[in-house]
Chains A and B, each alone.
Chain A
Amino acid sequence: GAGVSQTPSNKVTEKGKYVELRCDPISGHTALYWYRQSLGQGPEFLIYFQGTGAADDSGLPNDRFFAVRPEGSVSTLKIQRTERGDSAVYLCASSSDPGQPQHFGDGTRLSIL
């Protein structure tokens, strides 16, 4: 069956640009998580959704980061005015319900030049 799909797999852009990262969760999964992983580190929690609403966005580093999940399925992580420090792998995970096992996508590798 289809797993969690993230697009694009790689994104290279210039400092100051706007980027959107997409996550297609496993069909029927109500919970969706976004993480950021820097080289050599564990994933860092950003935000999680239960259905369409953001249940916990305490990990978003600042107001340049925003995420949506308008129909309770696909989610988009949006980063405005990108900075070199935003370079990382952005991981998405989904689970059937909050607290159930998370299934991760392979991530989007974002490079800000």
Chain B
Amino acid sequence: TQLLEQSPQFLSIQEGENLTVYCNSSSVFSSLQWYRQEPGEGPVLLVTVVTGGEVKKLKRLTFQFGDARKDSSLHITAAQPGDTGLYLCAGSTPGTYKYIFGTGTRLKVLA
């Protein structure tokens, strides 16, 4: 069974701090996506990474795909209260379009 473990599970920080969320697996993924989910809503896609070692930036968010395509990280610089939410990683298994979601990281940014 493929699993995507995210750490930390919960994170509460002050506005302006930096943070990193990790997504790890023992399996190789053909692509990996990061989503943010607000209460009562569906996940919203932030980014997709497909190449080992790939780095993508989205304003204050930096996403990296591990060289072996088994892990990924999300770094947020100068966090703001609007960044509060549940962050999810999801990987697609090679040869399929079945997506496995991580366990999630619940982030709270305090003003």
- A residues in contact (CB < 8 Å) with B: 4, 31, 33, 35, 40-45, 48, 50, 55-56, 58-59, 91, 93, 98-99, 101-107
User: Within the complex, which residue of B6, B40, B45, B97 is in contact with A99, where a contact is CB–CB below 8 Å?
Assistant: B97
Shortest distance from the beta carbon of A95 to any chain B beta carbon, whole Å: 9
Name which residue of chain B comes closest to A92, CB basis. B42
Q: A56-B96, A56-B97, A58-B98 are known contacts. Are A102 and B45 too (CB-CB below 8 A)?
A: yes
Measured CB to CB, the nearest residue on chain B to A50 is B97
Q: Which 6 residue pairs across A and B have the least CB separation, nearest first? A: A104-B42, A42-B101, A98-B97, A43-B101, A42-B104, A101-B45
- For chain B, the count of residues having a C-beta within 8 Å of the partner chain is 23
Q: A42 to B35: give the CA distance in the assembly, Å.
A: 10
5 new A-B contacts, CB < 8 A, other than A33-B99, A56-B97, A91-B42, are A41-B104, A45-B101, A50-B97, A93-B42, A106-B41
A106 close to B42 (CB less than 8 A)? yes
Q: Which of B38-70 contact A (CB under 8 A)?
A: 40-45, 48
Taking the closest CB of chain B, its distance from the CB of A47, in whole angstroms, is 9
Q: How many Å from the CB of A103 to the closest CB on chain B?
A: 8
CA distance A110 to B40 in the complex (A): 13
Residues of chain B within 8 A of A41, CB atoms compared: 103-104
- Digitize B84-102: 1 where CB-to-A-CB distance is under 8 Å, 0 elsewhere: 0000101010001111111
Q: Which residues of A contact B90 (CB under 8 A)?
A: 42-43
Can you give 17 contacting A-B residue pairs, CB < 8 Å?
A31-B97, A42-B88, A42-B90, A45-B100, A48-B97, A48-B98, A50-B97, A56-B96, A91-B42, A91-B43, A93-B42, A101-B33, A102-B45, A102-B99, A104-B44, A106-B40, A106-B41
